[in-house]
Amino acid sequence: DAKTTQPPSMDCAEGRAANLPCNHSTISGNEYVYWYRQIHSQGPQYIIHGLKNNETNEMASLIITEDRKSSTLILPHATLRDTAVYYCIVRVAGGGADGLTFGKGTHLIIQP
Amino acid sequence: NAGVTQTPKFQVLKTGQSMTLQCAQDMNHEYMSWYRQDPGMGLRLIHYSVGAGITDQGEVPNGYNVSRSTTEDFPLRLLSAAPSQTSVYFCASTPLENQETQYFGPGTRLLVL
């Protein structure tokens, strides 16, 4: 699986859009970009994933650059409950039991 | 659905003791996995299962055993606990029809003295 690079921490004001970057310059053509988050003392939670097109669901939007070497997770209207560690993961689709490689992620702190 | 449940929530063991961490899911997911998370670190895969009767090793399997006799349950056994196994343990399940999404349990905090 390709490696990812994320900033260790970010702040965002409540109600504003939170934009979390991720670099994955060695991504392969068949690898997807996944985002999970982990709220303090809880298990990780799936947010969104994509291959090359931008994706949106009820939680967030995922913007993937045309060369696929980086992506941005957007939380459109951040709330205090969005304070968490956000993990960007790159891997081949499928094989859902054999593990996701979680790095250290980005600690997003939403400020009131 | 209760989703993925884990018991106990917290456990203290002495070195050399054995115990089983329980994990159950009521979503009829084929795939299940065990991870550990150490302070300031990401999650590391211990063991996983793609169906009843089938298990395989992950990144850090030493000191742990698993079995999968039913679709619902995937217990993790520590045969002889060591202080290095102090960690938070997460169980996850994944549906066959949507392998992109893993559903995690709330975790078990284990302290080995």
Chain B nearest C-alpha distance from A112 (Å) = 25
Please state, in angstroms and rounded to a whole number, the distance separating the CA atoms of residues B55 and B58: 10
C-alpha to C-alpha distance for A97 and B93, rounded to whole angstroms: 7
For testing the chain A interface, which of B87, B100, B108, B109 should be mutated: the one with the most A CBs within 10 Å?
Answer: B100
Check: CB of residue B66 under 8 Å from CB of residue B73. no
Q: Which residue of A has its CA nearest to B94?
A: A96
Residues in B touching A44 (Cβ below 8 Å): 43, 90, 92, 102, 104
DSSP A48-82: EEESSS-EE-SS-EEEE-TTSSEEEEEETT--GGG
For residue B95, give every residue at least 6 positions away whose Cβ sits within 8 Å of its Cβ, in sequence order, or none: A96, B27, B28, B29, B30, B31, B101
A58-72: average pLDDT: 96
Counting one residue from A and one from B, how many pairs have CB atoms under 8 Å apart? 70
The position carrying tokens 């790159």 is A90
Distance CA B45, CA B28 (A): 21
Q: Do A96 and B31 touch (CB under 8 A)?
A: yes
SS3 label, residue B30? coil
Q: What is the pLDDT of residues B12-63, one digit of tens each?
A: 999 999 999 999 999 999 999 999 999 877 889 999 999 999 999 998 999 9
Residue-wise pLDDT for B75-102, tens only, equals: 999 999 999 999 999 999 999 888 778 8
Q: Is the pLDDT confidence value at A97 over 70?
A: no
pLDDT of residue A102: 84
Token digits of residue A15: 């109600």
Q: What six digits make up the tokens of A17? A: 């859009």
Beta bridge partners of B26: none
Rounded CA separation A1/A45 (Å): 20
pLDDT at B40: 76
* DSSP-assigned states of every residue in B59-94: SS-TTEEE--SSSSB--EEESS--GGG-EEEEEEEE
DSSP code at position A17 = P
Query: Residue B31 has which token pair?
Result: 């795939």
Output the pLDDT for position A91: 86
Tokens 């029809």 -> residue: B97
Report the pLDDT value the prediction gives residue A7, as an integer from 0 to 100: 97
Percentage of chain A lying above the pLDDT 70 cut = 93
Quote the mean pLDDT of chain A. 91
Given this model, what pLDDT does residue A89 score? 92
pLDDT tens across A5-55, in order?
999 999 999 999 999 999 999 998 888 999 999 998 899 999 999 999 899
Using the predicted structure, report yes or no on whether residue A94 has a pLDDT greater than 70: no
Q: In this predicted structure, what is the pLDDT of residue A96?
A: 61
Whether B99 sits inside 8 A of A93 (CB atoms) is: yes
Two tokens, residue A36:
């999970």
Q: What is the rounded distance in angstroms from the CA atom of residue B81 to the CA atom of residue A36? A: 30
Query: pLDDT: is A100 or B106 the higher one?
Result: B106
- Rounded distance between C-alpha atoms, residue A64 and residue A44, angstroms: 22
pLDDT for B10 equals: 97
Would you state the pLDDT for residue B96?
85
